[in-house]
Chains A and B, each alone.
Chain A
């Protein structure tokens, strides 16, 4: 056996370690290096869920009820994916509204109602205090077991100044005050506390795993051995799932723990208030269930191992975790287990106390003090520090109350039941919270009635029986019911038989609660303030960015008054800081002596909410603001306006994007136009240049003819040249006009049914002489006859002539003409064995004056407009024209559709599109 001194030394040593961790992480956080703000610490801190009750009690429950203990973990794990839906919303709402506790949350949602916040606080105290006290009880009794190998009953009689538990409670209170109530702001994060809790989560997990491995592999020979031995002793019912009766039990217990993980004050504190980044939820969603899985692996083996080992003796199953190592003489292991349980208990006490003290100060004490004008006026400049001291006092008071409760009351009850009874109490908040964030109609009166009724049933079905058991009330209450009415037996309301008492209490309290909440909410009207909060809560993701503008407020406040109010709670420096933050955020400047606008009033109220809770903040702000009553229509109107503003904003954003796109388009169009302009200039300059050539010849020869007396032969020759050049010019002019008509879409085709073969023959006929003169062979192949197409005969002839004449200019020895029908079009190919078109020029040859582009080095063969016009003509006929190189021949190909899809006109912009 370890001596008393060793155990006390380790216990307080562990406590000192916690102080050190908290101290140093706060110190480094102040230097800007935050260890707590990461998803792993966040997820670990959530494991505050596993208290001493679960640390020891799971084994106890498993030893009596088998696998059912799992429901306590199954609920939170099953519900983890729902966190995204529910927790994220609660976190967002709480951050935006600066909500610091579950009581604040409910009071905020239902019109910042003081009564509601107070009621929730009182019920939280009623539900959580016993729970806290059993943590103290767990510490004390395990302390004794470690010392005497058995819980010493006379312990209760020891005066408090000789009681280790008392001094441990004092130590915890000190820790909580130091690391949990540093700032006036209840919404402030407690870096050191979170780190300490995360450390404790690791510690208790390791301790439990170590003892689990010890029992499974050192006391027994692995899982199989334990289960086999348990089966031999007829304990197999504990690890086999049983019938339907069990199913409903499983359902209700899982549901209960689901609600607990959301709404237990300590869970709310760590999940919501201490959350530094919504994204941490993503990881916590799977890390936390994994933690629960790990800590549960050895529960059943330890339970079964204990049952096997202690068969026939009176050792309490709740203490198996500790009793087994002691029974095997492993004192140091037992000490580790004890410290693991200690860590589970302390983290629960610390966090719960912080959460409760916030509620007590912000929802009970401060509202009462603030309605008292004498108090308010007397202490108006110390309000900030008064808030801190109220909170510190509450922490001490709560822990001491828990200690007293432990000394006086909890000794009479079993450890196991109190945790679950506490869960049922907390579950009473779920209708008004879940309803509050998803259902706008949920009203204050509905919430209040539901919660009060739920608590009444809770008290009657779960607390009264424990009092009866303690012998303070007659046991006839249980057997024949209140006033002798059988239907009112606390464990068998309305004669209900088949449920365990916890499930029974949960079922009745929650059903009545939910029923009344919904019914009364449907029957009552909300006030405008209530409705405003309802809308902001339910649609938080719509409002969170523009919240100050979406809270309805009508009235004005004198700015110095408002500042003085903030000064009282925040101090001058902090007030200046938040005002600066406001002006930065809103882009406004504040007039020193003017009136504050509604946005600023709302902002100030939210700042105050973070310190003294929503309801108290409302009272304080009301005291400096002349508020006008506001009608429901106005509320809806303004909210709608906010929505519209947001939509408008979105539309504006959209519009500006569109505008940007349009201007980009315009810029491109302008570019195209400019390019077109350049092309036009180029075109004109090319046309004039092309005209100058014949004019030059005409003028030169005319002058020669005029000046000289020439022989008849020469005179005739020169006149011939003049005529030639004149017609060259008119041809050029004709082509330019042609092209312009095609380009602008004013050209019309003179379409008629025509025999294509005849057109081709006529066109080639006129070229035959040219080929002959140039010594070129010409061969022609047409695979159609009597093919009638609707075409402009002259234009098609023009194209053929143009291509043939080009071919004749470039060909060395031969020109070929092929006409075939392919699927639904006629394909005409004109080939020559000339040098061809360089590949890089292929894309341009159908552009007008292409030859002119490289004029310094190219001799124009013809006007340079022929191909451009040909292309237009073919396109007008719905065909295509192109150039390729085939078997060493340059090949111009054009097609004409067999079906009539020829446009008489092609609209002008066609080319530019």
Chain B
């Protein structure tokens, strides 16, 4: 079973994503901030991380950089409300594989996650 980590500080968004990917057959981990996310990455080694950017304590960019430094194989998708060109630029520079903006289409997201995993 593929392991996926979802990081967001909005409980309702977390809930919806968790529901979606569990249904798709992933083993889903969730984290409410960057710090928690880093802990889970260390412990469970997810193959893909869906990352929000604006979060308390450690932000999404930092999590991504850290992650990619340790293990380039882990895929990262930024899923954020920040939609300015410079934010996207910054996200890709941090090493993300994909940058998606909120609000998102669930089908589209699931399809892209699957494509990345294969």
Contacts and interface: CB of A to CB of B under 8 A. Distances in A.
Are both chains from one complex?
yes
Contact of A693 (B20, B23, B102, B106): B102
Interface string B1-31: 0000000011011011101100100000000
Given A855-B54, A857-B57, A703 B106 contact: yes
Nearest to B23: A708
A684 B53 CA distance: 19
Range for the number of chain B residues in contact with chain A: 20 to 34
Interface in B38-57: 53-57
Interface in B70-109: 81-82, 84, 102-107
A689 to B, nearest CB: 5
A695 B102 CA distance: 8
Given A692-B103, A707-B106, A697 B13 contact: yes
Range for the number of chain A residues in contact with chain B: 20 to 34
A858 B56 contact: yes
Interface string A714-732: 0000000100110000000
Given A704-B19, A721-B15, A859 B56 contact: yes
A857 B106 contact: no
Contacts of A725: 12
Given A692-B103, A693-B102, A700 B81 contact: no
Interface in A676-713: 685, 689, 692-693, 695-701, 703-704, 707-708
A703 B103 CA distance: 12
A704 B56 contact: no
Contacts of A704: 16, 19-20, 106
A697 B56 contact: no
B13 A696 contact: yes
Contacts of A698: 103
A835 to B, nearest CB: 13
Contact of A692 (B19, B59, B81): B81
Contacts of A856: 53-55, 59-61
Nearest to A708: B23
Contacts, number: 67
A700 B20 CA distance: 9
Contact of A697 (B16, B23, B57, B82): B16
Nearest to B62: A856
A103 B10 CA distance: 102
B13 A693 contact: yes
Nearest to B10: A693
Nearest to A693: B10
B102 A859 contact: no
25 contacts: A689-B81, A689-B82, A692-B102, A695-B102, A695-B103, A696-B10, A697-B13, A697-B16, A699-B104, A700-B16, A700-B17, A700-B20, A701-B16, A703-B105, A704-B20, A704-B106, A724-B12, A856-B53, A856-B60, A857-B55, A857-B57, A857-B58, A859-B9, A859-B33, A859-B55
A457 B107 CA distance: 127
A856 B62 CA distance: 10
A733 B87 CA distance: 25
Nearest to A710: B19
A721 B9 CA distance: 16
Contacts of B105: 699, 703
Contacts of B55: 856-857, 859
A704 B107 CA distance: 9
A857 B59 contact: yes
A698 B12 CA distance: 9
Contacts of A703: 105-107
Nearest to B60: A856
Nearest to B15: A721
A518 to B, nearest CB: 89
Nearest to A859: B56
Interface string A858-887: 110000000000000000000000000000
A707 B107 CA distance: 9
Nearest to A691: B81
Q: Which 7 A-B pairs have the closest CB atoms?
A: A700-B16, A692-B81, A856-B59, A697-B12, A696-B102, A696-B103, A859-B56
A572 to B, nearest CB: 76
A724 B53 CA distance: 23
A689 B59 CA distance: 16
Contacts of A708: 23
Most chain B C-beta atoms within 10 Å of own C-beta, residue among A695, A700, A707:
A700
Contacts of B23: 708
Nearest to B57: A857
Contacts of A701: 12, 16
Contacts of B10: 693, 696-697
A573 to B, nearest CB: 73
A700 B82 contact: no
Contact of B106 (A685, A700, A858, A859): A700
Given A700-B13, A703-B106, 8 more contacts: A692-B103, A700-B17, A700-B20, A700-B103, A703-B105, A704-B20, A721-B15, A857-B58
Most chain B C-beta atoms within 10 Å of own C-beta, residue among A685, A692, A693:
A693
A721 B15 CA distance: 10
B104 A696 contact: yes
B85 to A, nearest CB: 13
Nearest to B58: A857
Nearest to B102: A696
Nearest to A722: B12
A685 B16 CA distance: 25
B53 to A, nearest CB: 7
Nearest to B59: A856
Contacts of B82: 689
Contacts of B54: 855-856, 858
Contacts of A700: 13, 16-17, 20, 103-104, 106
Contacts of B59: 856-857
Contacts of B81: 689, 692-693, 696
B17 to A, nearest CB: 7
A858 B10 CA distance: 12
Contacts of B104: 696, 699-700
Most chain B C-beta atoms within 10 Å of own C-beta, residue among A689, A695, A696:
A696
A700 B109 CA distance: 10
Contacts of A685: 84
A753 to B, nearest CB: 43
Contacts of A699: 103-105
Interface in A639-689: 685, 689
A857 B56 contact: yes
A736 to B, nearest CB: 16
A275 to B, nearest CB: 73
Nearest to A695: B103
Nearest to A697: B12
A703 B15 CA distance: 13
Contacts of A721: 12, 15
